[in-house]
Amino acid sequence: MKTKVLKNAAYGVAMAALVFSSACQQVEEPQIITNGETDVIPTDGLGDVIPGQWIVKFKDSDMKPSRQGRTVFTSRQDKADYSEMARVNITAEIEDFLAEEGIARDKVGAIWTAAVTGFVAQLSDREAEQLRNNPMIEVVEPDIMVYPIQYTEDKDQQPAARGEAQTTPCGISNAGGPDTNGSAVGGAWAWVIDSGIDLDHPDLNVVTNSTYARSFVGGSANDCNGHGTHVAGTIGAINNSIGVVGMVAGAPVVPVRVFGCSGGSATSTIISGINHAASYDLAGDVANLSLGGYYGSGCGNNSTYRSALFSLDNQSLVAIAAGNDASNAALYQPACVNSSRIVTVASMTCGGSFSSFSNYNMNPVDYIATGSSVYSTWVGGGYRTISGTSMATPHVAGIMLSRNAKPRTSGSVSNRGESYPKAVR
């Protein structure tokens, strides 16, 4: 097979070596799925595979993502301008590649150019095999459904409305108390890759500029689920005498909406959210991923999802939820993803006991924070108490935003013979 010679050497592409095969059937009418509304095929060990839908990633050595170009930016606008220029150039290269491979452009959904270079497409088995055999390609893998980590709502707690007197939730106190000095270093942002954020919540400093606040499931970045708004409040609820106060009071929180009002999303949609954050983040920013993944392969495979997260940590610190299955976190992706700037977070109670629902294993779990009975912001300008590792993780994200570094620790929580360090500011 002929290997394409790239025209623009400044934007050469992607990495080295995973292939994934599947018996998925071709869909006659291509439909790139982003919101989980189309039927999927359950596949043992992989989760719900979207039929005929494939994630394709180039080798960095052949088509480099913009993330690996100039890496030092002090201006968000300069970063945005650079990323847009790179997006146009790399997209043109990918479209040339598709034409040479005989793959119709209308079969292709999202194209990624920042965190990774690649795309998602509806492909026949023959086309998937053709791409797998192309020396420019690192990964051809099925697109798998991802579901939000299920949380538990405290039934004895009534949802609270606007205007109630401010309280400091126990999780904030357990993590060393709120940073009320506005010390999100250099105007750093928290990217909440989740169900969106209530754009009008009076207790949140939401970045609403549509360049940054984006939805990848249709509509706006506004939250109609509640999960993302709750996460955002733990990170940065304003110190304003109402509701709650977050770990970094008043920190800018950016909604990157990858889940709809209910149900799951494709892995490719999550990658689009990560790719978006990678296009605009600056040093000191933090990304929070309180979202589910899939069980089985863990981090044994060099997946595009994993590569995108590794790319994101070139600039941002990243906090990932361990999961709520009371199981080994090493078997779940993205919980298993770790690096010097990516941390996985388990959950404890307000009183300091290991939460019964939390996934465990100190490899990959790095820290523990309060995830049981966490009180935070909710959609409609309200507040709610819910539980989950999703609720523990933004405590750690907030700590990292305040410190521009990984958390300090104070004490530990024991579970199954392991001691989990408590994250503090």
66 domain residue, yes or no: yes
The model's pTM? 0.88
113 and 167 share one domain: no
> Which tens digit of pLDDT belongs to each residue from 31-73?
444 443 333 433 445 568 999 999 999 999 999 998 776 667 8
418 and 348 share one domain: yes
What is residue 161's predicted lDDT score, i.e. its pLDDT?
Answer: 58
Structural domain including 368 reads 152-424
171 and 122 share one domain: no
What is residue 19's predicted lDDT score, i.e. its pLDDT?
Answer: 26
What is residue 7's predicted lDDT score, i.e. its pLDDT?
Answer: 36
220 and 320 share one domain: yes
272 and 370 share one domain: yes
Instruction: Please state, in angstroms and rounded to a whole number, the distance separating the CA atoms of residues 152 and 356.
Output: 12
70 and 14 share one domain: yes
Q: Where are the beta strands (DSSP E) in 91-204?
A: 108-112, 118-122, 137-146, 152-153, 190-194
* Cβ(369)–Cβ(410) below 8 Å: no
114 and 209 share one domain: no
Q: 92: closest CA among 107, 120, 100? A: 100
Q: 324: closest CA among 335, 340, 337? A: 335
Concatenated DSSP letters of 281-339: --TT-EEEE----EESSTTSS--HHHHHHHHHTTTSEEEEE--SSSSBGGGEETTT--B
What is residue 159's predicted lDDT score, i.e. its pLDDT?
Answer: 53
288 domain residue, yes or no: yes
Question: Residue 250: which CATH number?
Answer: 3.40.50.200
Instruction: Please state, in angstroms and rounded to a whole number, the distance separating the CA atoms of residues 206 and 185.
Output: 17
**Backbone φ and ψ of 328, nearest 5°:** -75, 115
Strand 41-43 to strand 47-58: parallel, antiparallel, or no bridges (unpaired)?
Answer: antiparallel
> Which positions are catalytic?
194, 227, 390
250 and 157 share one domain: yes
Q: Which of 144, 177, 208 is the last residue of a domain?
A: 144
4 domain residue, yes or no: no
Total tally of structural domains belonging to the chain: 2
Tokens of 76: 């968000």
Tokens of 240: 């304003």
Q: Give the number of C-alpha atoms closer than 13 A to the C-alpha of residue 204, restricted to the C-beta side.
A: 34
Output the tens digit of pLDDT for each of the chain's 425 residues: 333 333 333 333 222 222 222 222 222 333 444 443 333 433 445 568 999 999 999 999 999 998 776 667 899 999 999 999 999 999 999 999 999 999 999 999 999 999 999 999 999 999 999 999 999 999 999 999 988 777 777 654 545 555 689 999 999 999 999 999 865 557 899 999 999 999 999 999 999 999 999 999 999 999 999 999 999 999 999 999 999 999 999 999 999 999 999 889 999 999 999 999 999 999 999 999 999 877 776 687 789 999 999 999 888 999 999 999 999 999 999 999 999 999 999 999 999 999 999 999 999 999 999 999 999 999 999 999 999 999 999 999 999 999 999 999 999 999 999 999 999 99
3-class SS of residue 102: coil
Residues in a beta bridge with 265: 146
74 and 101 share one domain: yes
Q: Which of 109, 144, 179 is the last residue of a domain?
A: 144
